[in-house]
Amino acid sequence: MTYAFAAAGTGGHIYPAIAVARSLVRLGVDPDEIVFFGGDRLETSAVPDAGFRLVQLEIRGLKRSFSTDNLMLPMIVRRATADVTSALAARPPGVLAVFGGYVTVPAASGARKVGMPYLIHEQNAVPGVANRYVARRAVRMFVAFESALKRLGNAEVVGNPLDTPFVEFDRQQLRSEALRRYGLAPDRPVIGIVGGSLGARALNEAAIELATADDRSYSVLHLTGSIHYEALAARASTSDGWVTEPFERDMPGFYAATDIVLSRSGAMTVSELAATATPSVVVPLPAGRGYQAMNAHELDQAGGTVVIDQERIHDVPGILRQLISDPERLATMRAGARLVARPDAAAHVARAMREVADV
C-alpha cells in the first residue's frame, strides 16, 4: 500500500502533512509505505528529518507579477507530473493527500494518471488556487476553518493537523522546565512574541517597546526571526528579562512558557494558539486576500484573541500590558481559545486516508 503526500514550500503546508504521516504510523502503517513529493525548499530537510522518503520534483509556483518565467511553467508542470506518475506507478496502489501549494497540481495529475484517488487538506480560511483547481476530482476534502467552505463546499471541517506534542499539550506540566530552559523568572508573567521563521519587522518594533519599558513587571520571550536576530539579541543583552531566539523548533515549549502571545495569524499559528489555549494578540499580515484576518476569525469570535490591524501596531504594547496585568481576562481568553481547538485533525485525516486506500 502507498500513502503519498504532496507538501512543499512552507511549514504551513509541510508540517500538517508530516503530522498526518506520523498518525498513519501510529495506526500501524509502515514508514516505508509513505512517500512525500516536494521541491527544493523546507521539505528537503523537514521530511527526511521526520523519517520519510522525499521524491524531489523540479517545480515552482506561478509568479504573481508579470514574468517571462511563467511561460515555462506549463512545461515544468508536465515534467513534474511525469515524475510523479513514474514514481507512483512503481509503487503499490494507495492514496495521495495534497496540502496546497505549487506541488499540488502535478501530484494530483500524476495520481490520476495511475488511477490513484486523492484527497485534499486546506490549511487556510481562504483556500489556495491549487487546491481549488484540483478539488473537482478529489474523493474527500478537509479544511481547517469553516470560512473555507465558501470555496470548498463539500469539505469536512477538521482543523489543522498538529503533531502529538500539541495534541497532548499540558501547560502546567511543561511550564517549569520551559521557563528554566529560557532562563525566565518563574514569578513574572511572560509575553511571547513570534513573527515566523524570518520574523516580522512590525512585531519586532512592538517587542522593543514592550521590552524596554521602564515600569516593566513582565518578561519578554521574543522569537525574532533569523534575519533580525543579531541586532535584537545585542539590544536584549542589556535588558533583564528580555530573551531572544532566532526561531524555535520546540513550539509547545514556547507556548508553555508564555501567558500571552503576540503574533501574525498564519493558519498554523492560529491552530497552535487554540490547541495550547494560549491568549493572544494577533496582527494579520496586510497582504494577499486578507486570508490571515480570516484565519483569526473563529478564534476572535470565541474570545481567544484580540485582532489588531497593522496600521494600529503602535497600540499593541499598551493592549498587551493591559492584558498581562488582568489574570481574569487571560483565563477567559484561554477558555475561548480552547473552544475552537480541534486536536484530532491529524488522526482524522490519517483514518480517512486508510479508508480511501482500502476501498
Per-residue pLDDT of the chain (359 residues; tens, 9 = 90+): 999 999 999 899 999 999 999 999 999 999 999 999 999 999 999 999 999 999 999 986 554 554 445 555 678 889 999 999 999 999 999 999 999 989 999 999 999 999 999 999 999 999 999 999 999 999 999 999 999 999 999 999 999 999 999 999 999 999 999 999 999 999 999 999 998 665 688 999 999 999 999 889 999 999 998 888 999 999 999 889 999 999 999 999 999 999 999 999 999 999 999 999 999 999 999 876 688 999 999 999 999 999 999 999 999 999 999 999 999 999 999 999 999 999 999 999 999 999 999 86
Superfamily of domain 168-339, CATH level 4 = Glycogen Phosphorylase B; (3.40.50.2000)
**Domain chopping of the chain, boundaries:** 2-162+343-358, 168-339
Please check whether the two domains, 2-162+343-358 and 168-339, share a CATH topology: yes
Overall pTM surpassing 0.85 (yes/no): yes
Q: Any idea what DSSP says for residue 150?
A: G
Distance separating alpha carbons of residues 119 and 105, to the nearest angstrom: 12
Task: Look at residue 60 in the predicted model and tell me its pLDDT.
Answer: 64
Task: Look at residue 287 in the predicted model and tell me its pLDDT.
Answer: 77
- Collapsing DSSP to helix, strand or coil, 243 comes out as strand
Task: Look at residue 326 in the predicted model and tell me its pLDDT.
Answer: 98
Give the phi and the psi of residue 270 in degrees, each rounded to 5: -60, -40
Q: Any idea what DSSP says for residue 9?
A: S
Task: Look at residue 76 in the predicted model and tell me its pLDDT.
Answer: 84
Domain spanning 2-162+343-358, CATH architecture: 3-Layer(aba) Sandwich (3.40)
- Specify burial of residue 187 (Cβ count, 10 A radius: 0-12, 13-18, 19+): exposed
Q: What angle do CA 158, 161, 167 make, to 5 degrees?
A: 100
Contacts of 23 (CB under 8 A, 6+ apart): 161, 346, 347, 349, 350
Task: Look at residue 291 in the predicted model and tell me its pLDDT.
Answer: 87
